[in-house]
Structure 1
Amino acid sequence: MRIDVVSLFPEFVAQCAGFGVVGRAIERGLLSIHGTNPRDHAEGNYRRVDDRPFGGGPGMVMLIDPLRRAIETARSAGEGPAHVVYMSPQGRRLDQETVRRLAAEPRLILLCGRYEGVDERLIQAEVDEEISIGDYVLSGGELAAAVVIDAIARLQDGALNDAESAVQDSFEDGLLDCPHYTRPVDHPLGAVPEVLLSGDHAKIARWRRMQSLGRTAERRPDLLEARVLSKADAKLLAQYREGAAARESGAATSDTATAGPEIG
């Protein structure tokens, strides 16, 4: 997969892409990241890429032509059509469903704005989709682009050493992830739940599913609002809530107090 980033600071995104999963995906030839600077496509001695907004107001607005030439350069640098995404607070909120859809694209161009934004006419003419990573304001789109690249890289076949890791991530099934534990078994901060030491894989799977459902209900109930739970999931969620009620009443066992009820 090829991703082109149109940015005044393409080296920033390139540095972010050099580490961890993204860097490994690049090393393995699964992903390539390329930067295009609109300033290289601006005219005049000062290579100007912005100007004052019509109608007045603070800040500057990025000019059409340097951005348009940069996007065209990115398009012509690879084969096949490219899906152009503008990283914008006005865009659709990024979620795992959107990440999966973008990861299936053969090519992406991520447009990173600066200042007060981009001339609306450029967006209407060249952009296929606007995406936001959250309801807050950043100084530019580069951090948002790096987030999108990282999320996409995880879904490239072979990017993760264990392919099962991506399947079990939060949001892949529309739920939050379950809690995880490692050595030592006993620690001053608490003990590992016995179910995880049982060797009973079916029982462990049910416990993890229960924890995932319970955590989602507690922390992100909005994710469950439009979801129709199966009978098995509804039963597991009820068990989790029973354990939570027991904890609140002070009647929980040590295992239940730290990790929810055991299940058979």
Structure 2
Amino acid sequence: MTALTPPRVLTVAGSDSGGGAGIQADLKTMLALGVHGMSVIAAVTAQNSLGVQGYWELPPEAVRAQLDSVLGDIGAQAVKTGMLASPRLVEVVAESLGAYGAPLVVDPVGVSKHGDPLLAPEAVETVKTRLLPLATVVTPNLWEVEQLTGVKVEGEDDLRRAADAVLELGPAWALIKGGHLPGEPVDLLTDGTSEHRFAAERLDNRHTHGTGCTLASAVASYLALGEDVPGAVGRAKEYVTGAIRQGFPLGDGIGPVDHAWRWR
């Protein structure tokens, strides 16, 4: 008998040596959701529960070679991008993914959970002009919304204004993550016409490292499994909420969400 090949999802991101975010979180999420995860590593971090002690970009030719290798032979039903670090790496990734055409989820990673910068300031404009126009969904948190558009979100009423500003940069859908606002967390998804709000309970758990990476990878996984964008985001939110609920302590700082919560 020949086993059926599961849908394939590619992550293009940075490696987290602590295992809670980045490439490691992406691949764990993909495994948990039943797709085959593949990786293009754009940067390597020295990182633990206390923060990011340093990061090193891979050469652009190494990133391009990884993209050509995976997409040229194996292919992908969806792609997720995370930490891309520099303008040149953003350009290389945009060139390859623009030519490929699979659904693309962009997590515009600018800063770590601990406040450590993961995107060079000069790369922000490249993300805006080269990568976001290719995105099926872009998933910024409130700090990233302000970094990309200048819009400051201070309450739930500002979410739609933020989403419209992000949509002006070219993605098909914007998912504005409102988890850092007071009260019960609400995320807003819109394509400029339809609007979907995803509410969740506020969980009393500080161990949330990798939340953004996990959500974006879950959305990409469900797109590869055949969901439309609102359906993929809704199912991804359910998965991430469970992972946050089961987040566990690790080291002396902020522990990770539990990607395997459904198995425990």
TM-score (norm 1): 0.32
Higher relative strand content: 2
